[in-house]
Structure 1
Amino acid sequence: GQMPGWIQQLLSPIAIRVPLFNPTPLLNVLSPLAHVLFQPLLLLAWLMVGCVLGLCVLREVLTTGLAASIDWSLLRGDRWWLLLVSYLVAKSLHELGHGLACVRYRVQCRELGVLFLCLAPCLYCDTSDSWKLPSKWQRATIAGAGMIVEWILATIAAGVWLITQDGSLHSVAASMMVVCSVGTLLVNSNPLLKYDGYYLLSDLWGVPNLSEQGSDALRALAASALSGRPLERWHTDAPMVLLATYALVATVYRTFILGAILWIGWKVLVPLGLGLIAVLLTASLLFGLLLGYARSVRRLWREVLLTESIRVGRWIVFFIPCLLAAAFVVSVPLPSVIRVRGVSDYQDKQPLFVSQSAELIYAAPVNRRLPAGALLLEFASPESQYELLELRGQIATLEQTLQQLRFRSTFDPSSAYLTPTKVEELQQLQARERVLLREIASLTHTAPHDGYLLAGTHVVAPSLTAPRDARFRHNLLDPNLIGSTCDRSTLVGWFSRREHMILTLIVPEQDIKRLVVGMPATIGWDANIAHLGRGKVVRIAPEPILETPPELVGDATLLSERNAQGVFLPSKPHYEVTVEVELDSSDLVPLRGSLATAQFALPAQTIWQRLVEAVRNNLKPLS
């Protein structure tokens, strides 16, 4: 029998509906907009304007490159909510378009609610009463109204993107174009998924309940082939072969989409520490999928068994191609890659320490090329200056005393016995003066060769429960901090030619054994997505890391936990891999501490090999 609705919702967690209210009063208020929006001439105008602006956008992208045209790096941190809001607005207006189309053709829209599509919330509108309309073109208009609204939004976003400069508005317009164009083409307009494109095809083809008729036609053809009985002539709104072909293609495509959703879910949720949600989502989807397949096979079995005796030969002929197809699918080698996160650094960098507690009075510009001999850092130590003045006063006094002793020794020989003692005291003071001058000189750092001044260690923002003085730490080379005091042996910065860059990767334990020294890598930096670098592995650490690099603390792909000592470390064993980056003279050299993703191409693996490897990595060995 039919399963209860709440069970069907649990078995399909990628599309959960939550009814809210009857939107008829709201739609009646917006009825003037509905009559204007769906005027044929106005729709034609939007179509033409959208095509023209789309060509302009395409020309801009082809001229400057996709990464250079759309600066996605601006959509980070607190700007991500702009992207989320644009998605919610687009999908909500999409559903409102269906409701306005119902008002336009006097069809009642009974329900408005929230649809969690792949856990992303948006509105939905119940337009099931549109089947009562006699005109298939009116039904098709209601089915495609959401796509019409998204086309209008994409057109407006394209215009905004073309007339604005780089910034948040420019990037949000780009994201709106993608959501309302590419997203509509792949999801809403796709007739293989039960969204707008499906209902549009059903109305224009004149096949009500297209999915059900297709499934019935496919099952009837399969039953005829397995039982040997002639195909019964029963009423369908389209040729059975076409309906069965549609059902078969749609089933394969939907299974592929579910698999892709599961794969993406695992890739996103597990690194965030949400593995339990990924397991529940996978179990729910797989159980619902397998239950649907089992019910279809059971129904097919009953139809064949009740009408004809089982013909073993036909079943064997049927299952052998199925098994061969399954074996082919799991044995086809597929590309295999490893993607891991890392931090950029320079091999030839020289540390710049503070030799004693001192005040920073000058710092050269960071990441700007400086000539040899240029002043990098200058510190001042009032204590050392005061000690030097006091020491020089003592030296001057002692020199004057020696001069008087030498003068007195000409007429008082006994004075000569004091001279060696005073000379020794003077030598000690002068030695101390030389040491003090060297210490003061060490407070000034100059460039030994052409190069760049780099910031010191990355500072991780501590928790709010940390001591107050630990919550306000900054980069010491910040121009606003000139005049601050640095403790002895503090690492203030680095000096480097920036000619030999390395990338320190943090690789999980299950992937480290697949890497070897000399393996090439493709590198993409977060701050410059338009550029892909190259490199090769030069070192693989034999032991797991004991601390997460500060730059990667909080990274979505690397789950780190704070231990009792307040040190961040990965939740699972990770190893450090060093990659030597190949820099060309034309490359834009990334800054030290830049985050990057390295990709390693591995030998192709079949689905079967991946399943076996996953089982070995996740199950305990039998003892």
Structure 2
Amino acid sequence: MLYRVETIPLAWATLLSILIGHELSHGLTCKRFGGAVHEIGLLLIYLQPAMYCNVSDAWMFPEKSKRLLVTLAGAWFEILVWALATLFWRLTDPVTTLNYLALVVATTLGIKSLFNLNPLIKLDGYYLLSDFVEIPNLRYNAFRHIGNSLRRLFRAGSQAPDSATARERRIYWLYGLLAWTYSTWLIGFILLSLGRFLTTRYQSWGFVFIVALAGSMFRHPLRNGLRFLALHFTPSQGMLALMKRLARTMALLAVASAALYFIRADLRISGEFRILPLHNADVRAEVEGIIEEISHDEGDVVQTGDLIARLSDRDVRADLEKVKAEIAEKQAQLKLLKAGARAEEISLARTTVTKNEDRLEYAQSYLAMEKSLYEEQLSSKKDFELAAEQVALRQKELEESQGTLKLLLAGTRPETIEATEAEVTRLSAHQRYLEAQLQRLRIVSPIAGIVTTHRLKEKLGSTVKKGDLITEVHAMKTANAEISVPEKEISDIKIGHPVTLKARAHLDSRFQGKVIAISPVASKPAEGLPQRTFIVVTELDNSSLLLKPEMSGNAKISCGVRRLYEIVFRRFIRYIRVEFWSWW
């Protein structure tokens, strides 16, 4: 919401308005405590409108608290407006113009207050600290004290002893070092950022401009430094003293050079990392059913094949038992078919045929007798027809028994055996299918790891479809870490280099690993990052189970022992050989 063009004039107007209230607060507070405000007005600083208020009378107040309140009044006014703007921003509708104006005011005053209360630069925070420790011109006196101390160190007896008290000397050293470090960092950051922009856009001309700008900004420190070197090597105290200083300086340079060349150290390249499990497994239902049992819950350690859940198997088991009974029946039939007729059955069939032949012969004799009697009209037609029917019946019985004997003598047909075997095979396949379904009702872990699904036990009794996710298992005995390494450093990293990691969640633990892979392609610069990165993968022993997925921290990759000068000047040498080379 702040990244708009109209934000710039609004922020500028906010600063100008707040400056008026800021300086008026200083003046009104000074007047409140009885001081005189000699002048107040506007001025331009680098073409930027500013306001000033002369409250030097505050130094005449005997009470330190009043002096501090006069200095604090401007910052207090800014903090009050900042708080009101923040409150207004939170209470108004985000889509309104008033909400946007309140956000601009709150953001501008927040940044300004942070700088204004910083005691390391000469704004209200600095003057508050100076009043609090009761040392006027604290910054100037601190730098002068440190400079005089360094001069006495290099040129004994060349400066008069410092008249500062022990308390003042401690304050001078502490504040001077902090202010020098902060100022050097701030100015260096600004110059490096500007220099990077100019050299990237204008190359050699940009480099010349930034060098000229830095020289003009630091002309006084450079002039003082050259003057100090000139005085240090001037034979003002005789040639012998000069030669001693030269010898001492050369000895220090020789020792430093020897140390840079002969001392070896491990080259370590650092980068952000995040933890990934070596392998994740989604445990899903292979068949539809109702969850009847859950054996593990979130955080449990499982091995490959361990039972996690079981679906209801009542219907499947009933079908399986039914199929087993049918298979037994068909197998018995097949055994009978393959065995064929027994001798006793054939003998019985022959006996039956002989008996039926005798019966037929008797029936035929009886029919002949009835026929003669009927013809002589000694018997009725009905008796004759009954005798004829009895002959036909005996004839059919004989044919049936002869067919049975013939069938027993011929044996079982191959087609019948094959059909029964096919039925047994079909039922056996169905049995195997049901047994497989029964196994699929047991949901087991495909890998060894940790169950990570929240409230897994609450799924007990629920119905799941085929393919529904039951739980996730993360293999955490061994974990992989992806380390983001800038492309400038990737050439020094090789497969097998040892890696040391420290996770933000485990301050007292270090994790060791080795580089197992380096991405072949650089990733595009992420938002806020100036350069491309490569992904370096390391494998870690995580038997303690301290590392969890998506944990982050910093890693150091050991790239071998190098001479100290190669480590100290490697970035400078790279810059000269690549960036500086491209300017010309």
**Structure with the larger RCO, 1 or 2 (CA within 8 Å, 6+ apart):** 2
- Give TM-score, length-normalised by structure 2: 0.47
Which protein is richer in helix relative to its size? 2
- Give TM-score, length-normalised by structure 1: 0.45
| Larger Rg computed on CA atoms | 2
